[in-house]
Amino acid sequence: MRIDGVPTRTIRPAADGRTVEIIDQTRLPHALVWDRLTSLEEAAVAIQQMKVRGAPLIGAAAAYGVALALAADASDSRIEMAYGRLLATRPTAVNLRWALDEMRRALLPLPPGERAAAAWRRAGEICDEDVALNSAIGDHGLAILRALWEKRHAAGAERLNVLTHCNAGWLATVDWGTATAAVYKAHDSGMPIHVWVDETRPRNQGASLTARELGWHGVPHTVIVDNAGGHLMQRGQVDMCIVGTDRTTAAGDVANKIGTYLKALAARDNGIPFYVALPGPSIDWTGSDGLRDIPIEERSAAEVTHISGLAADGRPAKILLTPEGSGAANPAFDVTPARLVTGLITERGVCPASREGLLSLYPERRTRAAQ
Ligand code: MRU
């Protein structure tokens, strides 16, 4: 994506060749601040504190975390230690494990003296691959948006209304985003597309991140409270929902930001297509059961009891919302059962949210899935 006309990725190796630059997403939307990661620990903390977040970007940051870890010691035990430290940062996004496995696979067979350079190379490739995957997802998603727009336009509509939840955008990936890739391509092609942006309590990734990046790109959008989506659907003001995922099981169950499930229910009740955009590394092929086995991250109650923003004096502030002493629970993700998902938009095409659907796009998994 471009910021002020400059093509920009969310993560990049610094010019010194030894450190990594990230956009500190905890400072958005009000300040665009680049942070520098210089060590494994800084990478792990950046993921934990959600300076970088979004499943694909978590994977990319972890890959660079391994590269940072090997600066002084590239032994097998150091790789394993980095793997464990980074894997423990966030439990739900399966891209994290995928990226760490990729790094381990690339590095362990090499002599220690070659590992540090190879780690930087592989981390860079993972980033490049993410960009390509998301762009391809965007092409397949665009075909769906076009078909829908042709129908709506023929029926007299003046714009296509898409609803999205959380931030499955450029900021959640290295570039393009998953759910937003098709939106950007549609907008760039001249389609009058408008996005309803769920604010996505409690961390407000929609209000602060999706709105920010759609605004940077000039895509018309409106932020809504999470509970408004069902009402807008009933009024015929949503043509399609498109969201991302942190982990989709081989059977097509979709873990994504808390509240996604409720949007899928409302979409089904109103006959509105509900699509999930995902790259291959977001698929959990282990055979886990979506409702029972996916680890759902429990985050701090303070994210619910307090809200962050800019105070009247323009400084970042945290405001207490709840009575002192009220407890708060903060499950960060939920699982939308495959039956509520109209289709999965992947880099290889669109398929039904089912084991057969996914295997039709990833046939190389057929034998492994059967084992
Ligand atoms: O807790 P977050 O902000 O990391 O959660 C992000 C999401 O739930 C996104 O929708 C998901 O990672 C898909 S990103 C392309």
Q: Among 10, 241, 245, which residue has the most ligand 1 atoms within 8 Å of its CB, making it the best to mutate?
A: 245
Mutate to test the pocket of ligand 1, among 11, 53, 163, 165 (most ligand atoms within 8 A of CB): 53
Q: Which of 94, 175, 246 for a ligand 1 pocket mutation test, highest count of atoms within 8 Å of Cβ?
A: 246
314 and 191 housed in the same domain: yes
333 and 239 part of one domain = yes
Q: How far is the CA of 171 from the centre of ligand 1 (A)?
A: 10
**Measured from the CB, is residue 246 less than 6 Å from ligand 1?**
yes
- CATH number, domain with residue 256: 3.40.50.10470
Q: Domain check: are 187 and 90 in the same one?
A: no
- 98 plus 141 within the same structural domain: no
Distance CA 89, CA 11 (A): 18
Q: Which residues of the chain have pLDDT under 70?
A: 368-371
Give the C-alpha separation, 212 to 208, whole Å: 6
Q: Is 172 in the pocket of ligand 1 (CB under 6 A)?
A: yes
Express the helix, strand and coil content of the chain in percent, nearest 5 each: 45, 20, 35
246 is catalytic: yes
Tell me 70's DSSP state: T
Question: Relative to the CA of 243, which ligand 1 atom is closest?
Answer: 10
In a shared domain, residues 23 and 144: no
77-96 in b/e burial notation, b at 16+ Cβ within 10 A? ebbeebbebbbebbbbbbbb
Instruction: Tell me: do 49 and 167 sit in the same domain.
Output: no
Q: Which two tokens stand for residue 39?
A: 């060590």
Assess whether the C-beta atom of 91 lies below 6 angstroms from ligand 1.
Answer: no
**159 shares its domain with 283:** yes
- In whole angstroms, what is the distance from residue 287 CA to residue 30 CA? 42
Query: Are residues 183 and 204 both part of a single domain?
Result: yes
In whole angstroms, give the CA distance from residue 302 to residue 324.
11
Q: Judge contact between 92 and 333, C-beta under 8 A.
A: yes
Provide the sign of the torsion angle of the four alpha carbons 29, 30, 35, 41, taken in this order. negative
Shared domain for 106 and 221, answered yes or no, is: no
**What whole-number distance in Å separates Cα of residue 45 and Cα of residue 41?**
6
Final residue before a domain boundary, out of 100, 128, 156: 128
**H or E stretch covering 357:** helix 355-361
Ligand 1 mean position, distance from CA 244 (Å):
7
Q: From the CA of 250, how far away is ligand 1's center (Å)?
A: 19
Instruction: State the residue range of the domain holding 85.
Output: 2-128
Q: Compute the distance from residue 288 Cα to the ligand 1 centre, in Å.
A: 20
315 Cα–ligand 1 center, Å: 27
* 27 neighbors 56 (Cβ within 8 angstroms): no
Q: For residues 227 and 265, state if they share a domain.
A: yes
Handedness of CA 279, 285, 289, 293 (dihedral sign): negative
Q: Which of 130, 246, 284, 334 is catalytic?
A: 246
- The per-residue pLDDT for 371 is 45
Check if 60 has its Cβ closer than 6 Å to any atom of ligand 1. Answer: no
- 114/141 same-domain check: no
For residue 352, whether the previous peptide bond is cis, meaning omega lies within 30 degrees of 0, is no
Contacts of 64 (CB under 8 A, 6+ apart): 11, 13, 20, 37, 43, 123
Same structural domain for residues 193 and 171?
Answer: yes
Beta strands (DSSP E) in 82-123 are none
Provide the 8-state DSSP code for 209: I
Q: Residue 368 has what pLDDT?
A: 58
Which of 128, 152, 186 delimits the end of a domain? 128
Residue 55 Cβ contacting ligand 1 at under 6 Å: yes
Whether ligand 1 lies within 6 angstroms of the CB of 208 is answered as: no
- State in Å: Cα 16 to ligand 1 middle: 30
Question: If you measure from the C-alpha of residue 110 to the centroid of ligand 1, how many angstroms do you get, rounded to a whole number?
Answer: 33
Q: Which of 76, 96, 128 corresponds to the end of one domain?
A: 128
Query: How far is residue 305 from each of residues 17, 49, 202, 314, 322, measured CA to CA in Å?
Result: 41, 17, 9, 22, 5
Q: Which atom of ligand 1 is nearest to the CA of 177?
A: 15
The pTM for the full model equals 0.97
Q: State the CATH number of the domain containing residue 87.
A: 1.20.120.420
- Our count of domains for the chain comes to 2
Pocket test for ligand 1, best of 57, 167, 204, 304 (most atoms within 8 A of CB): 167
CA 120 – CA 18 distance, rounded (Å): 9
Which atom in ligand 1 lies closest to the alpha carbon of residue 95? 12
